[in-house]
RNA sequence: GGAGGGAUGGCAGAGCGGACGAUUGCGACGGUCUUGAAAACCGUUGAGGGGCAACCCUCCGGGGGUUCGAAUCCCCCUCCCUCCGCCA
């Protein structure tokens, strides 16, 4: 959520920044007005409160000194003020809630260096690595859903029978490959990122902190009976790890990683890109996340996550490109996002396998995570950064398609072999 | 699921209707002393909001109530702990 003081002091700047997203900015004018009213009523209420406090004190003194009559008179005076105060207090509460509700629905301001744009087409490809369209043979032009069936390593037909459309099931070497990918990624990031195994069901508050609620409730699975949400990404519990806390600047940046299932209803995208592993309701992901002291450190952390994710793709022998999301394609909470897209030759698609974002203090303000500056100043809201390392189904797909040999078997990239008992081939 | 006990500042832990934003200890920070450090001693040290400022208001898990006045009394909720039951 944005800082209300920023909206108050520089509404034009906020409107201009939101306009870069193509966002309707009328909520800002509304907020400025609401906030003004709220502050006026609040100070009026506070004055009355101060009066009640002062008079009450006198009541006590009068009683102690035995001045009964005076005490009774003061009591009546205080009671009258108290009643007016109560009415104003209700009004303040209502305005507070309105301000917060409005604030929660306003997206983050894009970073100054995020490219402007009106849609996906305006995203900027920063670099393409290892891609040569001429280099792929016919044997690599087989989509993973066919390879999966052919080798018996993917069984979405039965997954569908068990859970419905857009669920998947890995089998045998396919399941092992998936686990190897997860483990590789955890192992190589363990030097700097603390491994966490968080809960995958979370409270409403937790979903609000990352910005997944209140606006995007249709995208998430909700367990009505217990009022819990299935996480769409480990970003949700990891971001809230430090909720409500004041950290020491010397401990920052703090870095965490988690391997979890992720659950997405994919409302509105039914039937789109649903073949094979392109899009499913449940998938595995390893997430890297950092708490940073301010913008400079935050941006450095974003670079670190990106570099780490890229190196995994490189080591897996996959072609990929880095895409700088334009302002209109940016997620609600993000200020700057780089997507990593791996090339899958079989389905001839660039698959988004990672999304590395800097959220400035937007999420941390919602989660109320702060740090105490080393110079002793007042607590500051931290910055958050996160990125996938990686989203595994799509990586699995790109890998299987890329490394398919003419005989239909799959070459296991060297880095994965230790995790597969030294095995060099799948499907032999 | 049943019974009981809790939730107070960075942490520990008092307070149980008015002088309490809160005793105290630890920690942290500043100073004295010291070649330096430690120890000792002195001092400072919660968060949020409003105001140019003096200063004012709010916050003792959350919400409601009683009262002129609530950290303190009452009700509801959440969470934690102990015991019992059940269960992976």
Q: Give the nearest nucleotide to A75, CA to C1'.
A: B68
Report which of residues 96-135 in chain A place their beta carbon less than 7 angstroms from any atom of strand B: none
Task: Please report the pLDDT score of residue A46 as a whole number.
Answer: 87
Q: How many Å does it take to go from CA A53 to C1' B62?
A: 24
Q: Give the nearest nucleotide to A64, CA to C1'.
A: B18
Residue A331 has pLDDT above 70, yes or no: yes
Active site residue A127: no
Active site residue A171: no
Q: What is the ipTM of this complex?
A: 0.81
Task: Please report the pLDDT score of residue A372 as a whole number.
Answer: 80
Task: Please report the pLDDT score of residue A262 as a whole number.
Answer: 95
3-state SS string for chain A: CCCHHHHHHCHHHHHHHHHCCCCCCHHHHHHHHHHHHHHHHHHHHHHHHHHHHHHHHHHHHHHHCCCHHHHHHHHHHHHHHHHHHHHHHHHHHHHHHHHHHHHHCCCCCCCCCCCCCCCHHHCEEEEEECCCHHHCCHHHCCCHHHHHHHHCCECHHHHHHHHCCCCCCECCHHHHHHHHHHHHHHHHHCCCCEEECCCCEECHHHHHHHCCCCCCHHHCCEEHHHCEEECCCCHHHHHHHHCCCEEEHHHCCEEEEEEEEEECCCCCCCCCCCCCCCCCCEEEEEEEEEEECHHHHHHHHHHHHHHHHHHHHHHCCCCEEEEECCCCCCCCCCCEEEEEEEEECCCCEEEEEEEEEECCCHHHHHHCCEEECCCCCCCEECEEEEEEEEEHHHHHHHHHHHCECCCCCEECCHHHHHHHCCCCEECC
Positions on chain B within 7 A of a protein C-beta = 10, 18-19, 29, 47-51, 56-58, 64, 68-69
Which of A203, A352, A405, A424 is flagged as catalytic?
A352
3-state secondary structure of A41: helix
Domains of chain A: 4-104 (1.10.287.40), 120-426 (3.30.930.10)
Q: What percent of chain A has pLDDT over 90?
A: 64
pTM for the whole structure:
0.92
Residue A66 has pLDDT above 80, yes or no: no
Task: Please report the pLDDT score of residue A50 as a whole number.
Answer: 86
pLDDT grade for A139, boundaries at 50, 70 and 90: very high
Report which of residues 184-213 in chain A place their beta carbon less than 7 angstroms from any atom of strand B: none
A117 vs A16, A128, A155, A356, CA distance in Å? 14, 20, 40, 19
Q: Give the nearest nucleotide to A48, CA to C1'.
A: B57
pLDDT digits (tens, 9 = 90+) for A347-405: 999 999 999 999 999 999 888 888 888 776 778 889 999 999 889 999 999 999 999 99
Active site residue A10: no
The β-bridge partners of A117 are: none
Active site residue A264: yes
Active site residue A394: yes
Q: How many Å does it take to go from CA A293 to C1' B12?
A: 29
- The Cα–Cα gap between A124 and A215 comes to 27
Q: Is any atom of strand B within 7 angstroms of residue A303's beta carbon?
A: no
């Amino acid at each position: 959520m944005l800082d209300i003081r920023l909206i108050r002091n520089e509404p034009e700047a906020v409107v201009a920044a939101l306009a870069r997203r193509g966002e309707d900015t009328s909520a800002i004018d509304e907020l400025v007005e609401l906030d003004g009213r709220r502050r006026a009523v609040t100070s009026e209420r506070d004055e009355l409160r101060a009066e009640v406090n002062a008079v009450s004190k006198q009541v006590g003194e009068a009683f102690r000194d035995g001045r009964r009559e005076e005490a009774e008179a003061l009591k009546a005076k205080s009671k009258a003020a108290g009643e007016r105060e109560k009415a104003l207090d209700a009004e303040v509460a209502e305005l507070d809630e309105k301000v917060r509700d409005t604030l929660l629905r306003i997206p983050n301001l894009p970073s100054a260096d995020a490219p402007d744009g009106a849609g996906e087409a305006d995203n900027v490809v920063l670099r393409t690595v290892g891609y040569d369209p001429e280099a792929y043979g016919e044997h690599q032009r087989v989509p993973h859903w066919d390879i999966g069936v052919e080798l018996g390593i993917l069984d979405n037909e039965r997954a569908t029978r068990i859970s419905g459309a857009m669920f998947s099931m890995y089998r045998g070497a396919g399941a092992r490959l998936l686990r190897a990918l997860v483990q590789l990624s955890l192992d190589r990031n363990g030097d700097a990122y603390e491994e966490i195994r968080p809960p995958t069901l979370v409270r409403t508050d937790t979903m609000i902190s990352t910005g997944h609620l209140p606006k995007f409730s249709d995208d998430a699975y909700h367990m009505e009976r217990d009022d819990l949400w299935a996480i769409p990404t480990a970003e949700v519990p990891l971001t809230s790890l430090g909720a409500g806390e004041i950290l020491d600047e010397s401990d920052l940046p703090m870095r965490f990683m988690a391997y979890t299932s992720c659950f997405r209803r994919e409302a509105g995208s039914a039937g789109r890109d649903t073949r094979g592993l392109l899009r499913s309701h449940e998938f595995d992901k390893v997430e890297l996340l950092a708490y940073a002291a301010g913008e400079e450190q935050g941006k450095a952390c974003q670079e670190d996550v990106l570099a780490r994710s890229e190196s995994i793709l490189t080591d897996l022998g996959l072609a990929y490109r880095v895409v700088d999301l334009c302002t209109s394609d940016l997620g609600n909470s993000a200020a700057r996002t780089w997507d990593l897209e791996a090339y899958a030759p079989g389905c001839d698609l660039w698959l988004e396998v990672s999304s590395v974002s800097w959220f400035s203090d937007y999420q941390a303000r919602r989660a109320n995570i702060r740090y105490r500056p080393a110079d002793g100043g007042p607590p500051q809201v931290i910055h958050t950064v996160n990125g996938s390392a990686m989203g595994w189904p799509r990586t699995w797909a790109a890998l299987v398609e890329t490394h398919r040999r003419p005989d239909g078997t799959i070459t296991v990239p060297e880095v994965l072999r230790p995790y597969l008992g030294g095995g060099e081939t799948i499907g032999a």
